[in-house]
Amino acid sequence: MDLQYYGANCVTLSVKNGRVVVDDNLADLGGKTVTKNGDITLFTGPHGVPAADVKLSFDSPGEYEVSDISIVGIAARAHLDEGGLAATMYKITAGDVNILVTGHIYPELSDRQLEEIGMIDVMIVPVGGSGYTLDPIGALKIIKAVEPKLVIPTHYDDKALKYPVPQVDLKAALHELSMEPQETTTKLRIKPTELSDVTHLVVLEKS
């Protein structure tokens, strides 16, 4: 499985039989959509219509199987919990790799949510803060609760995108997380046999 980052909370997961695109709201932020025909799209919160003829699109809790990929949507409380807003975390399993995409959630997970999440190899978590999404302290709380093998931070300051509120820059976020990047790359190829039991952080540069 290959992981790439495109800014905001948008990542792609590429496997032999398909590609999953998560939170491609880039066009709403002044960027360019990365969704292509035939993709599977996931949205952790409010979103527009996918800009391509996608294979399937999910934006709510549930269990889905498509292209040899298992997707479990887990109900969560949105970080901006005004008016009863809800969010969806996704556990994505392809082969022997389990990935958790948290999205913009409130930094408290229940025992039931943790049971649904289970063992995680890679966790993708926003760190930009400013009341819009998780800040590094909230992200660290979730990291400690889930104990993934790899952590990939997203949704930090990006001059190419127009966020509704300013976001913390990556350097400051990493300082608050007290985690040094093990690797910085534009494409991460995940090999389960190479993952350590100790949590490491990987920075995915924008593709």
Ranges of each domain in the chain: 2-204
178 vs 50: CA distance, rounded Å: 36
Give the residue among 47, 53, 55 at the shortest CA–CA distance from 17: 55
- Average pLDDT over the chain, rounded to an integer: 92
Alpha-carbon dihedral 98, 100, 101, 106, rounded to 10 degrees? 170
Stretch 126-150: mean pLDDT, rounded? 94
Half-sphere exposure of 91 (CA within 13 A, CB side): 20
Position 81 confidence tier, pLDDT thresholds 50, 70, 90:
low
Whether residue 82 has pLDDT greater than 60: no
Position 51 confidence tier, pLDDT thresholds 50, 70, 90:
confident
- Bridge-partner residues for 123, per DSSP? 100, 151
**SS3 helix, strand, coil % of the chain, rounded to 5?**
15, 35, 50
- Do residues 135 and 174 touch, judged by C-beta distance below 8 A? no
The CATH code that applies to domain 2-204 is: 3.60.15.10
100 vs 14: CA distance, rounded Å: 15
Q: What's the length of the chain?
A: 207
Task: Count Cβ neighbours within 10 Å for each residue of 131-140 and write b for 16 or more, e otherwise.
Answer: ebbbbbebbb
- Bridge-partner residues for 66, per DSSP? 69
The per-residue pLDDT for range 2-39, each reduced to its tens digit, is 999 999 999 999 988 889 999 999 999 999 999 999 99
170 vs 85: CA distance, rounded Å: 27
